[in-house]
Amino acid sequence: MRKGLIFGFAALAAIATVSSGARAAGEGPALPQMEWSFDGPFGTFDRPAMQRGLQVYREVCSACHSLKYVAFRNLSDLGYDEDEIKAIAAEYTVVDGPNDEGEMFEREGRPSDYFPSPFPNDKAAAASNGGAAPPDLSLMAKARMGGPTYLYALMTGYEEPPADFPGDNYNLYFPGHQIAMAAPLFEDGVSYADGTPATVEQMAKDVSHFLMWTAEPKLEDRKGMGIKVLIFLVVFTGVLYAAKRKVWADVH
């Protein structure tokens, strides 16, 4: 059994190495080395970073990208209280209905509502963005190889295009380097409420951290449960070993 476990871990490591190498060889340079508070078996989300990331999303990303799987009430995970969540939701206008006359109407957002999309439908989104509808960001950190690190690299990877480059937006980390989205972040693009300097790198890291939470909001619960299961298995193994020693004591 031990040999099987060792072989399994070795196979997983080999697959990870091959996948990383394939990405670096086929889709561009290796991603930058990043440290995230949620990495590792004991990792947790950084609440202040997520709140800053929400601010970047609201003031920059939400002009084009939706967040349709996240409800305002979920922001309690970021450390906001009930009144703060109500205030954030009230800043949005939500289409509701039909009313008694059978017509749709607009109203102030409530905590139970989900973040409204910036466009009424995908056709309108595509028409406003050169024919390509901006993707929803709710699950983006899990949908791309490299996760939040790839998102960070993408937002910080804009460079001046080479002379023979066919487009305007050159991104070092985007496959093929030609990306439809112009650089979304600029120095001091937002004024952080906590006074953190709003560099491009800081904003990119904060919003990537926030998007990791939107993609996997139960990450901390999952890791906590995994640790509890491992502790149980260790204790259970000890109990079984003690029972085995007791049962076979007379034989030995």
Instruction: Provide the angle, in degrees to the nearest 10, between the axes of the packed helices 47-59 and 200-215.
Output: 100
Q: What is the pLDDT of residue 227?
A: 81
Residue (of 38, 62, 41) closest to 50 by Cα position: 38
Q: What's the pLDDT band for 242 if we cut at 50, 70, 90?
A: confident
Residue (of 190, 186, 173) closest to 53 by Cα position: 190
Name the average pLDDT for the chain: 88
Residue 51 pairs in a beta bridge with none
- What CATH superfamily is the domain 47-70+117-232? Cytochrome c-like domain (1.10.760.10)
Q: What is the pLDDT of residue 8?
A: 40
Residue 94 pairs in a beta bridge with 107
CA atoms within 13 A on the CB side of 173: 18
Residue (of 71, 56, 91) closest to 194 by Cα position: 56
Coil, strand or helix at 108: strand
Answer whether 38's CB lies under 8 Å from 218's CB: no
> What is the separation of C-alpha 65 from the centre of its chain, rounded to a whole number of angstroms?
14
Q: Is the pLDDT of residue 4 over 60?
A: no
Long-range contacts of the stretch 225-234 (C-beta < 8 A, 24+): 226/41, 227/41, 227/42
Q: What's the pLDDT band for 250 if we cut at 50, 70, 90?
A: confident
> What is the separation of C-alpha 148 from the centre of its chain, rounded to a whole number of angstroms?
6
Per residue in 108-167, pLDDT (tens digit) is 999 999 999 999 999 999 999 988 899 999 999 999 999 999 999 999 999 999 999 988
Report the percentage of the chain scoring pLDDT > 90.
71
Q: What's the pLDDT band for 203 if we cut at 50, 70, 90?
A: very high
**Greatest pairwise CA separation for the chain in angstroms:** 86
Per residue in 14-66, pLDDT (tens digit) is 334 434 433 443 456 899 999 999 999 999 999 999 999 999 999 999 999 99
Mean pLDDT score, 194-216: 98
Mean pLDDT score, 180-188: 95
Task: Give me the residue spans of the domains in the chain.
Answer: 47-70+117-232, 81-113
